[in-house]
């Protein structure tokens, strides 16, 4: 374990003005707080925050960040409180620790939802102070280094999460050293066979090539020295995971890879980068279409370098990266390296190949863009999807007709391009031209493509675009537009319902009256309230009461039936509120499965009998697969207030006293009505019996509440819908 004085010496070696007293106090406080706690390996728990702090000293980070690293687990895993940290160490350090503390009091059903909310909190915290991210990545890196002490199933989960979230996040913030080590460890755990095969192959290549790496280093150094260029040349073999990723992306076998060796050339200035490139290409033959200029077109994580592949000595393909020393620091350390040139003049930065200050870097701009996605209030599943998409690293560079550069993930389409330009451009997109020619919107864009978006103000993005787009921004915008269109449709239905009700008193409804009533209805604006009425979430009579109108409730129900399509049959019973069927056709719900508002339904026509309504999951629909002419696409309308619908459930109960009572109690507590009930013992099984219940509910939400309530009871083993 690192001693207290050793940590202080590490920090003062690169920051003589460091607050030694703060470091000493944080060290002692964290050591006492963690006390006798131990890790899975058996070592003292305090060794973990100490190692995290040590990793950060290698990045030459400030005193506050090192102190936060020492304290980062105190609130989460000890008796320490956030207020106590504020009092002892100040708001700055306490805020850093808070950003790193997981949200414990989460009432989430799934691990995915919990993961999403904690990741959301971390990203929001790091958008305010990027040092939160630096501590988190150092924390995850040390956890990965000690992952062999964790149980196998947990080890796999952590490795997968690291590969999907934290390693790409380190990459997007330019911290390549941390990303490489995380990926190598995760690859060993997730795919041990592939990892061993590639490493064995690299060992054989190294043995066969002998001193070839050193020979190429010497030849390259000589070529550059003769040209008057001061350069440092270093050769290396590619990492196992990097090779594996290239094999997967290009569908190559291991023996087909020719550029296993890579050389890094570090020079002093940007001019030297291009001079070195010219001399290399004059000495060895360049491989066509393998040159990339990331100095002129930096990656989104601020990475800048020249990449080329040449046929070097012994006819071996050699990959080269040519960059300045400062570019190399940024390539290796990313946002953590910005402190290295915070006091350097802009003129000097330009000469060294750094064009923007840290506060305006591409990595920071990407982070702000990601925060915009977070504000959309997506579900945990959508949030994790967006985050993973935004972490996608490989890029293509395309241009607008005016020359604006747009960086997109590899595989992006013109739809992604349109939304990258601006959300309004994407929403109004109706077509595109790629390199001056009309092209389908499903076209995969390539490096250097010029894309022109054809727009129309009458256009709204169709939901099918979501399957075509690959960027999180485009997918989120399409979902948002789809929800807005559905909301607009429901608002129109709701307005029709309310206007029909108030017209009976010869009253003309105005938006001003509705706006005044909205606060009493618990909605933000008129459209929200009308959409709620259209969906059936808000009763029309409640709107009338909020408007101060006094209308007989029988008239309200009559108007709802008229608008919603629930007409009376010959015996005065309310007919089913379903849209899509021809007028006058008899409708009935399939008796085996039932069907309730809110779920997808279809109709099957039987000549002389009418239409039978099935939920889309009904197995009985399979027998009509060869009779498409009998299928009718139906949707639910607005049901008469208080109207109930049947749904058949099968419930597996433990054979104990009180099991049946629990079922009836739950259904009663949730306002359901039992229409049929059948109890059947399982053949040859005495511990369980099956119960089939036909329950009457208002809609799918009501049904789900009942099913969730049943599942929570100790004597209920399983609850499912009967599918026929």
Beta-strand pair 673-681/688-697: antiparallel
Phi/psi at 405 (5° precision): -85, 130
Tokens of 380: 């945990």
Supply the residues annotated as catalytic: 76-77
The tokens of 379 are what?
A: 């579900």
SS3 (DSSP) at 211: coil
Nearest to 719 by CA among 619, 667, 622, 651: 651
Distance, CA of 62 to CA of 71 (rounded, Å): 15
Helix (H, G, I), strand (E, B) or coil at 133: helix
- Alpha-carbon distance 304 to 321, whole Å? 10
CA distance 137 to 171: 11
Residue 694 in tokens: 């036909």
Q: Taking Cα atoms as reference points, which of 724, 708, 723, 716 lies closest to residue 651?
A: 716
- Rounded-to-10 torsion of CA 142, 148, 151, 153: 90
SS3 letters for 577-637? CEECCCCCCCEEECCCCECCCCCCEEEEEECCCEEEEEECCCHHHHHHCCCHHHEEEEEEC
Burial of residue 601 (CB within 10 Å: 0-12, 13-18, 19+) is buried
Rounded Cα–Cα distance for residues 51 and 41 (Å): 14
Whether 262 and 321 have beta carbons less than 8 Å apart is answered as yes
Q: What are the residues facing 292 on neighbouring strands?
A: 307
Q: Judge contact between 531 and 521, C-beta under 8 A.
A: no
Q: Which of 688, 690, 687 is nearest to 679 (CA)?
A: 690
The CA–CA distances, whole Å, from 635 to 377, 614, 641 equal: 27, 11, 18
Residues 302 and 362 sit within 8 Å (Cβ to Cβ):
yes
Q: How many CB atoms lie within 10 A of CB 137?
A: 26
- Pairwise CA distance, residues 540 & 638, whole Å: 11
> 10 Å Cβ neighbour count for 218?
14
Q: CA-to-CA distance for 682 and 652, rounded, in angstroms?
A: 10
Q: How far apart are the first and last CA of the chain?
A: 65
> Can you tell me the distance from the alpha carbon of 338 to that of 230, in angstroms, rounded to the nearest whole number?
24
What is the distance, to the nearest Å, from the Cα of residue 722 to the centroid of all Cα atoms in its chain?
Answer: 34
Cβ-count burial of 105 within 10 angstroms (0-12 exposed, 13-18 middle, 19+ buried)? exposed
Q: Is 474 helix (H, G, I), strand (E, B) or coil?
A: helix
């Amino acid at each position: 374990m690192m001693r207290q004085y050793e940590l202080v010496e590490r920090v003062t070696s690169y920051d003589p003005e460091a607050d030694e007293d703060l470091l000493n106090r944080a060290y002692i406080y964290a050591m006492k707080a963690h006390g006798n706690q131990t890790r899975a390996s058996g070592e003292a728990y305090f060794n973990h925050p100490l190692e995290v702090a040590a990793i950060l000293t290698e990045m030459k980070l400030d005193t506050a960040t090192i102190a936060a690293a020492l304290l980062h687990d105190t609130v989460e895993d000890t008796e320490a409180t956030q207020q106590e940290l504020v009092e002892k160490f100040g708001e700055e350090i306490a805020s850093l620790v808070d950003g790193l503390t997981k949200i414990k009091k989460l009432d989430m059903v799934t691990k995915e939802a919990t993961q999403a909310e904690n990741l959301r909190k971390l990203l929001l915290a790091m958008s305010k102070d990027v040092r939160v991210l630096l501590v988190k990545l150092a924390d995850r890196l040390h956890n990965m280094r000690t992952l062999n002490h964790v149980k196998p199933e947990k080890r796999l989960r952590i490795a997968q999460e690291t590969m999907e979230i934290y390693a790409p996040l380190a990459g997007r913030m330019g911290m390549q050293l941390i990303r490489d080590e995380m990926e190598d460890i995760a690859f060993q755990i997730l795919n041990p066979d592939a990892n061993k095969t590639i490493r064995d192959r690299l060992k054989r290549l190294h043995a066969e090539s002998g001193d070839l790496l050193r020979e190429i280093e010497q030849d390259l150094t000589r070529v550059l020295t003769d040209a008057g260029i001061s350069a440092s040349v270093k050769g290396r073999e590619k990492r196992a995971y990097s090779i594996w990723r290239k094999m997967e992306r290009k569908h190559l076998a291991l023996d087909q890879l020719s550029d296993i060796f890579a050389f890094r050339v570090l020079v002093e200035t940007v001019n030297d980068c291009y001079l070195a490139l010219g001399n290399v290409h004059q000495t060895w033959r360049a491989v066509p279409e393998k040159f990339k200029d990331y100095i002129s077109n930096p990656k989104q994580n601020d990475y800048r370098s020249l990449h080329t592949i040449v046929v070097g000595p012994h006819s071996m393909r050699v990959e080269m990266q040519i960059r300045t020393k400062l570019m190399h620091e940024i390539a290796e350390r990313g946002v953590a390296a910005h402190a290295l040139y915070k006091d350097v003049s802009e003129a000097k930065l330009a000469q060294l190949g750094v064009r923007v200050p840290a506060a305006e870097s591409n990595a920071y701009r990407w982070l702000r863009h990601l925060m915009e996605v977070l504000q959309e209030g997506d579900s945990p599943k959508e949030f994790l999807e967006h985050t993973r998409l935004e972490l996608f690293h490989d890029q293509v560079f395309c241009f607008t007709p005016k020359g604006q550069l747009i960086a997109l993930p590899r595989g992006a389409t013109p739809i992604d391009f349109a939304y990258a330009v601006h959300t309004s451009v994407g929403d109004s997109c109706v077509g595109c031209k790629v390199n001056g020619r009309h092209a389908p919107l499903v076209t995969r864009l390539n490096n250097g493509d010029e894309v022109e978006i054809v727009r129309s103000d009458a256009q709204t993005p169709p939901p099918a675009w979501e399957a075509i787009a690959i960027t999180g921004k485009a997918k989120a915008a399409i979902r948002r537009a789809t929800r807005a269109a559905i909301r607009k449709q429901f608002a129109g239905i709701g307005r029709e319902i309310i206007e029909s009700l108030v017209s009976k008193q010869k009253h003309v409804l105005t938006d001003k009256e509705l706006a005044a009533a909205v606060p009493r209805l618990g909605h933000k604006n008129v459209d929200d309230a009308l959409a709620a009425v259209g969906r059936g979430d808000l009763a029309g009579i409640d709107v009338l009461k909020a408007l101060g109108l006094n209308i007989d409730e029988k008239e309200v129900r009559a108007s709802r039936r008229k608008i919603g399509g629930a007409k009376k049959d010959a015996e005065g019973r309310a007919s089913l509120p379903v849209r899509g069927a021809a007028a006058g056709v008899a409708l009935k719900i399939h008796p085996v499965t039932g069907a309730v508002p809110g779920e997808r339904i279809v109709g099957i026509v039987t000549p002389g009998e009418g239409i039978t309504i099935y939920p889309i999951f009904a197995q009985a629909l399979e027998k009509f697969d060869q009779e498409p002419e009998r299928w009718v696409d139906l949707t639910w309308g607005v049901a008469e207030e208080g109207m109930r619908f049947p749904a058949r459930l099968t419930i597996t109960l433990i054979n104990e006293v009180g099991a049946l009572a629990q079922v009836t109690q739950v259904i009663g507590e949730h306002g359901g009505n039992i229409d049929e009930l059948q109890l059947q013992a399982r053949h040859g099984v005495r511990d369980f019996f099956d119960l089939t219940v036909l329950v009457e509910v208002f809609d799918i939400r009501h049904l789900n509440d009942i099913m969730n309530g049943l599942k929570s009871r100790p004597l209920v083993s399983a609850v499912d819908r009967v599918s026929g």
